[in-house]
Structure formats: C-alpha cells, structure tokens
A = this chain, B = another copy of it.
Amino acid sequence: MTASSTKPLLNVLAREKTPLPPWWLMRQAGRYLPEYRAVRNRIGSFLELCLSPVLAAELTMQPVRRYGMDAAILFSDILILPYALGQALEYRDGTGPVLEALAGPGDLGRLNAVDVLSRLAPVLETVERVRGMLGPRTALIGFAGAPWTVATYMVEGGTSRDFHRVKSWAYGDPLGFARLMEMLTEATGELLAAQVAAGAEAVQLFDSWAGVLPETYFVRWVIRPTARIVAFLKDRYPRCPVIGFPRAAGVLYERYVTETGVDAVGLDPTVPLGFAVARLGGRAVLQGNLDPVLLLVGGSSLEAAVVEMRHSFAATPWIFNLGHGVLPETPVENVATLARLLAAPEPG
C-alpha cells in the first residue's frame, strides 16, 4: 500500500510513521453529544436518520468539528443491510433493534439481494456528501457489519444473551446457514465497494459477536467470509485499507490477522497490549483499545491508561480508538481531555 497523504490515518494504515497517533472513536457520533441529541429528538426514527443524507452527513461531521478526530466514520448502522435485503426492522428505545427473525433456510425467500444497492442509495449519498465536507487532514471511513454478526441479529431477531438460535442453525444445518452467509458476504462486499466508490478512503468490518464462537466455527463463519470480502475489495480497490474488528476474539485474534488479509485490526479493551504488539502488530496495523468506561470516568485513570497505551504502542503502527463504542453517559469534556492527551508531543 502507498500512502504519504495529508491524512495521518491513511499514512498509519500504510504503516508509515506519524509524529502523533491518529485517532477516532467508535460511536463518536452519538448520544453523548448534545448536538446529536438535538437532531435525534427532532427525528424520531433512527432508521429514518440513517437514510437521510443531509442529516446523516451532519451527524457524521459533528464530532469531527468539535474534537478534530483524524477520521470521520459514516453515520449509519450495521443493520441497514438486513433492511436493504427486505427484512422488517425497527429500533425501539431501551430494547434495541427488533427484526422479524429468520427461523431457518425456508425464510431466505423473504430476502431479496438484487435491490440492495438501490435501497442503500441514501447511504452512498451520505458518503459523497461527507467526503465533500472534510478538510485535507481528515479521512473518511466507511463500514459494514461482518456477515456473522449481522446474521446473529437476523436470526435472533435482535440482541441476544446466549445466541442459541443462530448457533443452533449454524451448527445443526451448516449448508442451509451457508446460504444466508453467502448472501450476506456478497452483499457486504458490494456495499463496502460502493462506499469506496462514493468516497470512503478506508472501511471497517464490525464483527461485534465474533467472540462467541469456538475455533472451528470461528474459522468458518468469521475468518472465511471476512477473507472473501477483503479479497473482493482488494481486487476492485487495491489501495483501500480494510480494518477488521473481531470483538472479543481473544486468542483467535492471531488467526484472524494471519488468515483474513485485513490491513488493520480493531482490538477490544481486553486484548493485552503486550500480546497485541508481539503477536498481531507485525501482521496488521493495530487500532484500539481504551475501555469506554475509562473515557466515561476520566481523571487520573483515563490519563494513566492513555499514557500506558502510547508507551506500549510507540514502536508499532497504531491508531488510537476505544475498544468498543462511546457510552451515552460519557461527559463531553472527557473527550476533550482525551484529545489533549493524544496531542501531547510526549506520552507523559
């Protein structure tokens, strides 16, 4: 990969050294920001927000204007894909997303993969708009949910505690489940490619529930679909970096970075820094992994953690991020403190 751009994030993704670690935050556009809540309260439906290019572009820009992160990430949601495939989807306050659950291969006929990109035209328009609004130092990240994680929502009908419905299908009927995963893998690749075509300069694949699978199934339903999507994107856009985020993959982070071909890997907060540098950093640019609760708590605990991260990751290409999304209860001034800690020439 060649970079040396004006954008520090893209340079680090090309394994170039930068004087300071570039940074962005998962869910940096979100409920902790008063300007986000102002828009959200005006537009009742979260799905409507995701499909309104003017508003979604505004929400994407809000944290960048306030804090000057090195990247904007498209304001959207990983469940926009099931929506585009024709699955009924509703976001309920408090309980989270509710989908009309797929019970098995017999329900696959309810999905329609043909019109995905036309149904997602507003999302692609958001990407175009944001790209036009960004300054010369800020990169634009597109994203999608990884097929396994999206499948968990589609089969469980929402979030889950033990994932027994989706695992029962995946373990008990691997051929039927492969049809769903095949459809998701192809559509995800197309969606990400369309985002790149619209102006995204890097993409992230969120596999939030990668960490619930035993190794055999992790290889089959996390590593293989991810590797296929990466290969598909690299074929079309060889210079677009792909960030994979197999949250809570534990020991299996190592196989993930070795076997998927991702350029960078998102680390959840429980990944030890020493392990990340020694076992993952040679294969992939590291991204992460402050516990979002430390950003919520602030003070000396936040400072100590950031200093430790900067020291531990000093010699390896690294993008600062949280290990999970910003919590809605996070005080806005703590994010300002974080920005200052990351801008200090010496880590402390």
Q: Does A297 contact B (CB under 8 A)?
A: yes
A271–B297 touching, CB < 8 Å? no
Q: Does A86 contact B (CB under 8 A)?
A: no
Q: How far is the CB of A162 from chain B (nearest CB, A)?
A: 6
In the complex, the count of this chain's copies comes to 2
Give residues of chain A (228-268) contacting chain B, Cβ–Cβ below 8 Å. 248-253
> Inside 8 A of A269's CB, which chain B residues have their CB?
214
Q: How far is the CB of A221 from chain B (nearest CB, A)?
A: 13
Q: How far is the CB of A211 from chain B (nearest CB, A)?
A: 6
Task: Give the docked Cα–Cα distance between A271 and B249 (Å).
Answer: 9
Give residues of chain A (285-334) contacting chain B, Cβ–Cβ below 8 Å. 289, 291-294, 296-297, 299, 301, 305, 308, 323-324, 327, 329
Q: Does A167 contact B (CB under 8 A)?
A: yes
Q: How large is the interface on A (under 10, 10 to 19, 20 to 34, 35 or more residues)?
A: 35 or more
- Measuring CB to CB, which residues of chain A are less than 8 angstroms from any residue of chain B? 162-164, 167-168, 171-172, 211-216, 218, 248-253, 269-273, 275, 289, 291-294, 296-297, 299, 301, 305, 308, 323-324, 327, 329
Residue of B nearest to A304 (CB): B216
> Inside 8 A of A270's CB, which chain B residues have their CB?
211-215, 218, 248-252
Q: How far is the CB of A224 from chain B (nearest CB, A)?
A: 16
> Inside 8 A of A301's CB, which chain B residues have their CB?
171-172
> Inside 8 A of A297's CB, which chain B residues have their CB?
167-168, 171-172
> Inside 8 A of A275's CB, which chain B residues have their CB?
251
> Inside 8 A of A253's CB, which chain B residues have their CB?
251
